[in-house]
Amino acid sequence: MTAAHAAPALRHPGLPEFGLLVILGLVWGSSFLFIKIAVENGVPPLTLATLRIGIGAIVLLTVAKLRGQRFPSFTASPERPGGLGLWGKLVFLGIIGNSLPFFLIGWGEQFTPSQLAAILMAIIPLLVLILAHFMTHDEKLTAPKIGGVLCGFAGVVVLVGVDALQGLGSQVIGQLAILGGCLSYTLYGVNARRLPQMGSEMTVGIILALGFITMAPLWLILDRPWELTPNGHAIFSVLWLGLLSTAFGNWLFFTLMRRTGASFASTNNFLVPVMGLGWGYFGYGEVPGVNAVVALVLILVGLALPRLKKR
Give the tens place of pLDDT for each residue, 10-41.
Answer: 777 788 888 998 899 888 888 877 887 888 88
DSSP state of 13: -
Minimum mean pLDDT range among 18-32, 45-59, 100-114, 198-212: 100-114
Asked if 193 and 136 count as a contact pair (C-beta separation under 8 A), the reply is yes
Instruction: Give Cα 223 to chain centroid, integer Å.
Output: 24
Phi/psi for 229 (5° steps) reads -130, 70
Q: Does position 269 have pLDDT exceeding 80, yes or no?
A: no
pLDDT digits (tens, 9 = 90+) for 133-188: 787 776 787 888 888 888 878 877 777 676 656 666 666 787 788 888 888 888 88
Does the pTM exceed 0.85?
A: no
- The pLDDT assigned to 249 comes to 93
Comparing 101 with 273, the larger pLDDT belongs to 101
Q: Does position 279 have pLDDT exceeding 60, yes or no?
A: yes
Model confidence band, residue 238 (pLDDT cutoffs 50, 70, 90): very high
- The pLDDT assigned to 84 comes to 81
| pLDDT cut 70: percent of the chain above it | 80
In angstroms, the CA 242 to CA 247 distance is 6
Minimum mean pLDDT range among 101-110, 142-151, 190-199, 272-281: 272-281
Q: Does position 66 have pLDDT exceeding 90, yes or no?
A: yes
Comparing 125 with 249, the larger pLDDT belongs to 249
| pLDDT cut 90: percent of the chain above it | 24
Q: Where are the beta strands (DSSP E) in the chain?
A: none
- The pLDDT assigned to 287 comes to 59
Residue 281 CB contacts under 8 Å (≥ 6 apart), including other chains? 287, 288
In angstroms, the CA 310 to CA 11 distance is 10
Q: Does position 1 have pLDDT exceeding 50, yes or no?
A: no
Handedness of CA 117, 43, 23, 310 (dihedral sign): positive
Model confidence band, residue 231 (pLDDT cutoffs 50, 70, 90): very high
Q: Does position 110 have pLDDT exceeding 80, yes or no?
A: no
In angstroms, the CA 113 to CA 150 distance is 22
In angstroms, the CA 126 to CA 267 distance is 9
Least Cα distance to 242 among 37, 101, 56, 32 occurs for 56
